[in-house]
Every structure is written in C-alpha cells, then in structure tokens.
C-alpha cells in the first residue's frame, strides 16, 4: 500500500492505494507534508483531485478499491450516482436502496466512507435541507457543496 499527500483548500489530503485502486482519501490533522513525487499508482488520483479543487473537474476516472462490508459498498456505489452539484437526503438514499427503514444503517455507512470527496458522501443532507453529520467537519461539507454548486453572486452594481 502506498500513501501520498496533496494540499487542498480544505487541508492536507492523504491518498492511499495500490495497483488495485485507491483505498482511502482523507484529510490530515498531522504534520504530513504534501509532495509532488507521487507513486505511479496514485498519480492520476492526485492529478484529478487537484483539478476538482481548481474547479475544472466534475467526475473522477481513477480506480476505486474501498474496504468495507457488502452493505457499505452498496451504499457507497449509490453515492457515486449522485450527480455533481446536487444533493439527496438520507431518506431518499434509503428509498433508492430499497429499504426506507434502513435510513440509520445508510447514514452509518455514509459516515464510514473511506474515500473523501470522490465517493460524494458530502452530497447527502437531512430531509429538511440541513447539513447533518460529516466526518471531516460540517465546515468542509459546506465548502464542498458550495464549491460544486456556487450561488450566483448578486450585486446592485
């Protein structure tokens, strides 16, 4: 397993994976430093994430290989189907997965998502439109949603 680090507007990001795909993308609170000498297995992920944060990429093409239960993987696959710039609720996601009663399990799987940004768990909000739960902090969730769907600036001049 290889690890590399990039700088993003939301902090230093660690990217882990191997020839089978990216297994984890997380924000760091440690003193790890971003670098430009990325392992070949992670180079595309680094490049595409940098493009995303610059605003020139809306989807990712690199291979994913997250570790989790079958149910978690099912939820994460459903998250990948949420279009860029849109949101859904935990309730709607549960309905899409075929069991409205599984809303808590869906929310728990969402919270265990190991591949930050790329598997877009930040696009899941409360049924009332509120920003609920986010492992990276609600301020990051808010930033990501605004980045993907910026409000048009209103001005009198």
User: 2 near 18, Cβ under 8 Å?
Assistant: yes
pTM for this model (two decimals)? 0.90
- pLDDT tens-digit map of 54-96: 999 999 999 999 999 999 999 999 999 999 999 999 999 999 9
Rounded Cα–Cα distance for residues 114 and 25 (Å): 6
Q: What is the CATH number of the domain that holds 28?
A: 3.30.160
Let me know whether 47 and 91 are in one domain.
no
User: 109 near 58, Cβ under 8 Å?
Assistant: no
Token pair belonging to 115: 């591949």
Question: Is residue 111 assigned to a domain?
Answer: yes
- pLDDT tens-digit map of 106-148: 999 999 999 999 999 999 999 888 888 888 889 999 999 999 9
Let me know whether 141 and 98 are in one domain.
yes
Range of the domain at 144: 70-148
* Catalytic residue annotation: 121
Let me know whether 45 and 115 are in one domain.
no
The total of structural domains in the chain comes to 2
Let me know whether 76 and 49 are in one domain.
no
Let me know whether 91 and 135 are in one domain.
yes
């Amino acid at each position: 397993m290889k690890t590399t680090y990039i700088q993003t507007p939301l902090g230093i990001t660690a990217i882990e994976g191997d020839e089978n795909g990216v297994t984890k993308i997380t924000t760091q609170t440690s003193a790890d430093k971003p670098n430009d000498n990325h392992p070949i297995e992670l180079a595309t992920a680094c490049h595409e994430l940098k493009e995303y944060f610059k605003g020139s990429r809306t989807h990712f093409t690199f291979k994913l290989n997250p570790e989790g239960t079958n149910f978690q993987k099912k939820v994460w696959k459903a998250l990948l189907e949420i279009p860029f710039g849109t949101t859904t609720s935990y309730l709607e996601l549960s309905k899409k997965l075929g069991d409205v009663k599984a809303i808590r399990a869906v929310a728990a799987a969402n919270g265990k998502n190991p591949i930050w940004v790329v598997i877009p768990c930040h696009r899941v909000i409360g049924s009332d439109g509120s920003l609920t739960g986010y492992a990276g902090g609600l301020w990051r969730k808010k930033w990501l949603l605004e980045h993907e769907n910026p409000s048009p600036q209103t001005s009198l001049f």
